[in-house]
Structure 1
């Protein structure tokens, strides 16, 4: 298999936003746990993307991007909102009600698998040998992290399997949205405008579902909850998603999904600082393998079609 010239993924224009997104999303898992309890999960998701959507459209207006979408654009925004900002996040928030945030983050690292498969089917993007080897090394690391998290949870029962199942549904939903963002339809519209409307339409769907299933809006007025919603809405969404999708368009869904491989490692590091998380040899070995796989994969060149 012949290989093309130097990979875009090894350039600073990709590495810097990739690192920023990974750092921010590595912190959101802990913040999400603070959103559970008084407020039903779907209402928390609604508030998050209402704030994010307003912030995105405000940025579009400040940068003088057109705010209107045509009929095709609205349809695309509805689908993007459904898969990325409704199904994905509702599954993840509910999963954290059944298992630890660390386990959810580890399972979400599997995003690179459906991303690679769907990108091959719908975008015709092939995987080079170096990317495949990097993926296998990273997945070995994910397997060790998964085993470590399962051993940490003494109640390996139906609750655990339900949490894992919900996370897997979130992974599939996110992967569909990832591949949509790499397609030609998404590239035909300004990113801030498209994401802003997708977030607001997603928030509307979230709110409708929340009202039907749990009743009128519920708000936790504690400063920690409000700060968490703002952090997740602005940094965790309005800042991170444009950065992530811009990287995804440059290097493809398979490589972009490697952020999800490193995120659980960062989540564990933050948990060590703030929650007294204790590492094991399994977790340390998994983190090292995940990092090695990431470096190898991001240095891989894109194969010729």
Structure 2
């Protein structure tokens, strides 16, 4: 991709995208104060975001020739959106019930290294020395941050481990989703692919709510939950996606991914400001190690998938 003559403009957009996306975990934790469950919160988030994704898909369809997808393509696309899009989202939201926002973001940022591992297993890509280094320091960083949260939680450490496991599984599922993206983005384009998969994920969310949820229950939620869900949809879902896409167009995916590594730091700072979560040198050291791993993977020319913020 040709680099822009306005690098600071693109860098600012990517930085803003990473920071506003980081607010998602904060909003989820604030919403949980009102005893809403993960399925209902995701249903509200996706309901508010769906009109924007439909509009994005309509706009993308008008910009280029329509893509031709076979029935098999559509089947895989739906499976990818339901499992990789909605499934990873639900695991992430449910995990946030038991872990701090800072820990959630640090674990989720393992997905670049997970993409490398999956590419080696399923696509027979060779793992380079830089990638081995990246994975080693990243997982060491996660161990430190998990240790920090277990020390804080004391008797509730089993819940911390359970929540961390859910978030890690979310990162694994999302890494698989990214691997599958490579089969469809060349056919559909990144914008149209995002609009389609997120719209399908919203439908999956509605289906789960229809099976297990209660309209009476969701209509009786405090108005603060609706406000947080709307902010989550616009500020932490649609806005960062737009800013990141423009930023990638300006800078290219590799430089954008390096800047987006600020994500865990901004989440930890926002959690400190809005949730009162503690800061410690252990947490800081672990976060730095994970960011080093992300930067190392992003700088490797052989990395099979561009590294950007996860939409989970």
Decide: shared fold, TM above 0.5: yes
Distance change >3 Å, CA 163–CA 276, structure 1 → 2: closer
Residue 82 (structure 1) shift = 0.8
Cα deviation, residue 229, structure 1: 1.6
| Aligned position for 1:23 | 19
* Range 140-149 or range 214-223, more displaced: 214-223
Counterparts of 2:245 and 2:115 in 1: how far apart (Å)? 13
User: Match of 1:4?
Assistant: none
Q: Structure 1 length normalisation: TM-score?
A: 0.78
| Distance in 2 (alpha carbons) for counterparts of 1:232 and 1:119 | 31
Residue 5 of structure 1 aligns with which residue?
none
In structure 2, what is the Cα distance between the partners aligned to 1:58 and 1:302? Answer: 35
Separation in structure 2 between the aligned mates of residue 274 and residue 70 of structure 1, nearest angstrom:
47
Matches within 5 A, 1:60-99: 60-62=57-59, 64-65=62-63, 70-72=68-70, 74-99=74-99
Q: How does 1:93-242 map onto structure 2 within 5 Å?
A: 93-181=93-181, 183-216=182-215, 218-219=218-219, 222-241=222-241
Residue 45 of structure 1: aligned partner: 42
Who is 2:31 aligned against?
35
Q: What CA deviation, in whole Å up to 9, does each residue of 1:225-270 have, x standing for no partner?
A: 23322222223223434666896xx658xx95995x6533321111
Is contact 1:131-1:297 (8 Å) kept?
yes
- Cross-structure match for 2:52: 55
**CA 1:160–1:38 in 2, change beyond 3 Å: closer, same or farther?**
closer
Q: Could you tell me how far apart the structure 1 residues matched to 2:16 and 2:131 are?
A: 22
Q: CA deviation at 1:143?
A: 2.3
TM-score normalized by the length of structure 2: 0.76
129-138 or 264-273, which moves further after superposition? 129-138
Q: CA deviation at 1:66?
A: 6.2
Name the SS of the counterpart of 2:155 in structure 1.
Answer: coil
In structure 1, list runs of 5 or more residues that go unmatched. Answer: 1-10
Whole-angstrom CA distance in 1 between matches of 2:65 and 2:195: 9
Q: 1:297 to 1:195 in 2, by over 3 A?
A: closer
Q: After superposition, what is the alpha-carbon deviation per residue over 1:96-153, rounded to whole angstroms, capped at 9, x for unaligned?
A: 2233333332332332332111123445544432343234333333322221122111
Match of 1:186, SS? Answer: helix
* Residues 113 and 65 (structure 1), Cα distance of their counterparts in 2 relative to 1, 3 Å cut: same
